[in-house]
């Protein structure tokens, strides 16, 4: 039995003030839930949100991390910087980073290995573009992203995968329940091939892409889907809380 995990990805939204207000509103709404609850916030908000979530069941996540311990990497953030504030999860390889900031399968792999080595949990994002889906390349793209991105990992059980088809992100176009379940089933099959069938059954795989308070029940009812990575709908406490309470 895989424990569901619902994570908010705030992307480049909120300030410390509005973020803390959002967490305060969220706390009572998500108190008694069965799933893991995570908020992945912009780096500069981490100190404030770290304070705000103290004593609650909301866990803190970052949106990126560099693989080096420290050094001349202007604009990057290290594991020690995140751990100092109790960050437990790090999103790696989001499609927006792949598209706009030159993230590759190789850098995804380096970051993922570093997050694991530092004792945190990577949320590794994979997914195809609209063009790739139309051309029937979805499985080939997912295979490549997984085999390169997860190369050399010895703790696959700890890794969370987020299947985020780029065409469904921020577009209001959600993958249908069965499209999402099918792609995630394929990802699990690929993990079985790369690691083992037993380990593949333990890995939690989220869906992300216009998931909201209305479509979350259908998606979460699918056999292969273990959670959600939520963008837009994580910016409103009531909406995010409804997703976290999907089983009620
Ligand atoms: P939206 O929920 O806004 O489509 O974003 C999904 C996403 O990219 C989460 O990482």
Ligand 1 atom nearest 170 alpha carbon: 4
By most ligand atoms within 8 Å of CB, the mutation choice from 11, 38, 231, 233 for ligand 1 is: 231
pLDDT tens for each residue of 139-159: 999 999 999 999 999 999 999
Look-up of token digits 């590794």:
124
Tokens of 98: 């792949």
Most distant CA atoms of the chain, gap in Å: 49
Active site residue 164: yes
- Domain range 5-236, CATH class: alpha beta
Tokens of 124: 């590794």
> How many Å lie between the centroid of ligand 1 and the Cα of residue 208?
6
pLDDT, tens digit (0-9, with 9 covering 90-100), for 31-83: 999 999 999 999 999 999 999 999 999 999 999 999 999 999 999 999 999 99
Residue with tokens 């480049």: 12
Cβ atoms within 10 Å, residue 17: 10
- Would you give the DSSP letter of residue 223? T
Whole-prediction pTM value? 0.98
């Amino acid at each position: 039995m895989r424990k569901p995990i619902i994570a908010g990805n705030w992307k480049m939204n909120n300030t410390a003030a509005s973020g803390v207000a959002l967490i305060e509103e969220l706390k009572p709404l998500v108190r008694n839930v069965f799933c893991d609850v995570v908020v992945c916030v912009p780096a500069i908000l981490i100190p404030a949100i770290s304070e705000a979530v103290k004593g609650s069941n909301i866990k803190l996540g970052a949106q990126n991390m560099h693989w080096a311990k420290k050094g001349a990497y202007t604009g990057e953030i290290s594991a020690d910087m995140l751990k100092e504030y109790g960050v437990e999860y790090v999103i790696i390889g989001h499609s927006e980073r792949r598209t706009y900031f030159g993230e590759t399968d190789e850098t995804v792999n380096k970051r993922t290995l570093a997050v694991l080595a530092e004792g945190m949990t990577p949320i590794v994002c994979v997914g195809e573009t609209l063009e790739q889906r139309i051309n029937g390349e979805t499985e080939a793209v997912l295979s490549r992203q997984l085999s390169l991105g997860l190369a050399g990992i010895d703790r696959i059980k700890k890794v969370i995968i987020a299947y985020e088809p780029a065409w469904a992100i921020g577009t209001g176009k959600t993958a249908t329940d069965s499209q999402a379940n099918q792609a995630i089933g394929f990802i699990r099959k690929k993990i079985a091939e790369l690691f083992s069938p037993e380990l593949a059954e333990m890995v939690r795989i989220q869906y992300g892409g216009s998931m909201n308070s209305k479509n979350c029940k259908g998606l979460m009812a699918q056999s292969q889907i273990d959670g959600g990575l939520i963008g837009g709908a994580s910016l409103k406490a009531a909406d995010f809380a409804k997703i976290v309470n999907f089983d009620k």
